[in-house]
Amino acid sequence: MVGICAAVERVSWGVWDGYEVTLAPRSYVRAVQRAGGIALVLPPDEAAVREPDLLLDRIDALLLAGGADIDPASYGAEPHPETAGTWPERDAFELALTRRALERDMPVLGICRGMQLLNVALGGTLDQHLPESLGGDAHRSIPGSFGTHEVRLSPGTLACGGAGSEGLLVMSHHHQGVDRLGEGLEVSGRSVGDDVVEAIELPDRRFALGVVWHPEEDEASAVIPALVEAARSAVPFAGEVEERNSQ
């Protein structure tokens, strides 16, 4: 069972205008299902912020999906003028789940915003507007579409093993990225040309990976299947073993 963290957004359809919903793009769900996993969409929940095991006990892996910018207050920064659409309740929920999942050595995959959140969860910070830092907008295409660029992954890393190649063409759409790296994280991939961080991972965990591109949009990608396989082979959390033994 792979838990996919849901976005919080205001949407319009039918007679409804600006209606607040929790949602996950179906591409994430389909990618998990194609890999033989069961997808469970997780909406933000204050109870789980206080006690993440309420949800983590019910899943085998955590997928942090893309979406709106992370509130800069989460990493002690003032908002850039281009930082918008933040949902602090989503941030708090995902940060709590991520930190506890890493403590439990549960497989974790962060995609786009999810990679950024993985970095923040471990004390890192974000570059809030890459076009300003890079002097160009190569990583963010027009609204509603994905741009493509080449990524180079370090051999022998989780990112390289998951992607199945040291070099690949990826689909992305983001304007923020990693600034200061979180504690224990290592950079395992960068974009060709401008050296933007494209993949980060936590080497002392079985599977803790963040990629800033969108593997769920590529049916041939092996990244999400690698997460599903990690979930399938995951050993029970020690607390679960103790509980079972006491029954």
Annotated catalytic residues are: 112, 214, 216
Extract the tokens encoding 222.
């092996």
Measure the CA–CA gap between 109 and 235, rounded to whole angstroms: 17
H-helix or E-strand containing 200? strand 197-201
The DSSP letter of residue 81 is T
Q: Are strands 61-64 and 108-111 parallel, antiparallel or unpaired?
A: parallel
Query: Which residues, other chains included, contact 51 with Cβ-Cβ below 8 Å and sequence gap of 6+?
Result: none
Measure the CA–CA gap between 77 and 124, rounded to whole angstroms: 11
Extract the tokens encoding 150.
């080449």
Residue among 208, 215, 213 nearest 100 (CA): 208
H-helix or E-strand containing 50? helix 46-50
User: DSSP states of 147-161 as a string?
Assistant: EEEEEEE-TTSHHHH
SS3 28: helix
Measure the CA–CA gap between 238 and 136, rounded to whole angstroms: 48
Name the one residue in this structure whose structure tokens are 């907008």.
Answer: 137
